[in-house]
Structure 1
Amino acid sequence: MLICPICRSSLTSVDNGVVCSSNHRFDRARQGYLNLLPVQHKNSRDPGDNQAMVEARRRFLDAGHYAPLATRLAQLAAERSPGRWLDIGCGEGYYTAQVAQALPDADGYALDISREAVKRACKRAPQLEWLVASMARVPLADASCDLLASVFSPLDWSEARRLLAPGGGLLRMGPTREHLWELRGLLYDEIRDYDDEKHLSLIPPGMQLVHSETLTFELQLDSAQARADLLAMTPHGWRASAERRAAVIDATLRSRVAIRYDWIERDR
């Protein structure tokens, strides 16, 4: 199942780690994850979300503000009954843990390029195999997954197709054009529009959209900490001006949450 990120041969378990036939060895961290991100595959010393961003996301999600999103994601995953699944871009593991709970008999994996995120994610579902790895060079074998989950995460579509077994699918969860519309109106003079179906043009041959749905609800944030955390866990935390961000943090926020779920299946 696991493959070496350097030579792409199979990895086998050894004492406190894994090793391939070329003797590339990777130790398991004390938190339980495997770091399968070689230095030559990094674009910075510590790629991905930093500690402050991870902690902001953890506080916000653990407070339940996006709980309906996680519940529906887990329901959709359970409907597919995969034998093996991977959360590709798992972050600090909030959504991953919900999916794991819905799939108690499945073989689960989760990866993110951020070591800070995976360190915290491990604690949420120790039964999973947690990996620090590149989403563009996923260290899993071809056609090894029945379900891929991609939640608010960039995606390498060619890797997704490579990883999926015939008949398996990608469960993608991402924002629609209306997501946090009111918040964006407070932060910017002009709200940048985008096409909710733009990502569908990226679907590679051999995969097709089978199901799509949208979940919408109103979010109310009375806590200044929650408002600050929401900004910190989104691109708005660095795109918007400091003055506009401060104004959002200072007042109760009501804004739409509008999320699209897609099931994109690989041909059998």
Structure 2
Amino acid sequence: MYLCPLCQLPLTLSSRHYQCANKHSFDVAKEGYVNLLPVQQKKSLDPGDNSEMMQARRAFLEAGWYQRVAEEVATMLQPANPQQILDLGCGEGYYSGILQRQLAPKQLYGIDISKAAIRYAAKHYPNATFAVASAYQLPFAADQFDAIVRIYAPSLLSELQRVLNVGGYLLTVTPAPAHLVQIKQAIYPHVKLHSDAIEQLAGFQHCERKQLRFTLDQLTAADLDHLLTMVPLGWKFNAATKTQFIESKPAIECDFYLDLYQLGTKQPCP
């Protein structure tokens, strides 16, 4: 199911390593994932979020604060009954695990450029298949997936078009206008809200938008610290202002857009 990231020929699994016809070889780690991110595709020695950000995100997500986001993604995809799903930029696999449990596809793949995150995902969600790989050169054959989930992850449109079946679905999660507005208010004198425009994607028909808005009003100091550490907005705080913000224990507004697209059809979305 993988393509070689060096020559794009199919990879065959044998004795815990993948190999293509050109003899490029990639070992399967003991946790079960494979690293398909060659040095030519790396912008640093250890790409992806740093360890502190990953640990904070893992703690925040596993506390269940964004569980309803993952469940709503699964609910929107349920009518399509996708059997081959790609979780693009899957991180530590939190959303992959919920999608696997609720949708029960034949195969769910997750990719991320962070080796540490994929190692964790492979160890904790063994029913899914994980690889270290670039979203800008996906290591998959054409027309391989029925659905792609893209939660905040950057990607290359032509690659999404290539690996998704005609008639397949792309579900994106992006910030809606009021997302984390209380954090912005603590940083900026004038707050700029996120856009409410629907992104137009060439080759895709937009089928549905849902706005998921809720308030986190029971966050502990540890939860707030994790949230500030895992989001880029948190980088704007210095130690003193971060402590002051956490001690004020504000309620945090969460505001998401979930947009469902279908590839290559002009018929009304089912």
Provide the aligned length of Structure 1 versus Structure 2: 265
Partner deviation per Cα, 1:24-60 (whole Å, 9 max, x = no partner)? 1000111111100001110000000121111100100
Q: Which runs of 5+ in 2 are unaligned?
A: 266-270
Task: Provide the C-alpha distance between the structure 2 equivalents of 1:221 and 1:191, rounded to a whole number of angstroms.
Answer: 24
Counterpart for residue 97 of structure 1: 97
Which structure 2 residues correspond to residues 161-180 of structure 1 after superposition, within 5 A?
161-180=161-180
Checking the alignment, whether the CA contact within 8 Å between 1:96 and 1:110 is kept in structure 2 is yes
Counterpart for residue 184 of structure 2: 184
Checking the alignment, whether the CA contact within 8 Å between 2:173 and 2:258 is kept in structure 1 is yes
Q: Considering only aligned residues, what root-mean-square deviation do their CA atoms show, in Å?
A: 1.4
3-state SS of paired residue (1:26):
strand
TM-score (norm 2): 0.94
The answer to whether structure 1 residue 5 and structure 2 residue 5 are counterparts is yes
User: How far apart are residue 237 of structure 1 and its match?
Assistant: 2.0
Which structure 2 residues correspond to residues 213-228 of structure 1 after superposition, within 5 A?
213-228=210-225
The answer to whether structure 1 residue 211 and structure 2 residue 208 are counterparts is yes
The answer to whether structure 1 residue 262 and structure 2 residue 250 are counterparts is no
Which structure 2 residues correspond to residues 27-46 of structure 1 after superposition, within 5 A?
27-46=27-46
The answer to whether structure 1 residue 236 and structure 2 residue 233 are counterparts is yes
Which structure 2 residues correspond to residues 109-120 of structure 1 after superposition, within 5 A?
109-120=109-120
TM-score (norm 1): 0.94
Counterpart for residue 23 of structure 1: 23
Q: Percent identity?
A: 34
AA paired with 1:190?
Answer: H
Write out the 4+ residue segments of structure 1 that deviate beyond 4 Å after TM superposition: none
User: How far apart are residue 241 of structure 1 and its match?
Assistant: 3.9
3-state SS of paired residue (1:85):
strand
User: How far apart are residue 79 of structure 1 and its match?
Assistant: 2.4
Task: Provide the C-alpha distance between the structure 2 equivalents of 1:5 and 1:146, rounded to a whole number of angstroms.
Answer: 22
User: How far apart are residue 221 of structure 1 and its match?
Assistant: 4.1
Partner deviation per Cα, 1:194-251 (whole Å, 9 max, x = no partner)? 32226x14x12x2111111101111124411111100111001213344332222222
Counterpart for residue 68 of structure 2: 68
3-state SS of paired residue (2:30):
coil
Task: Provide the C-alpha distance between the structure 2 equivalents of 1:218 and 1:241, rounded to a whole number of angstroms.
Answer: 25
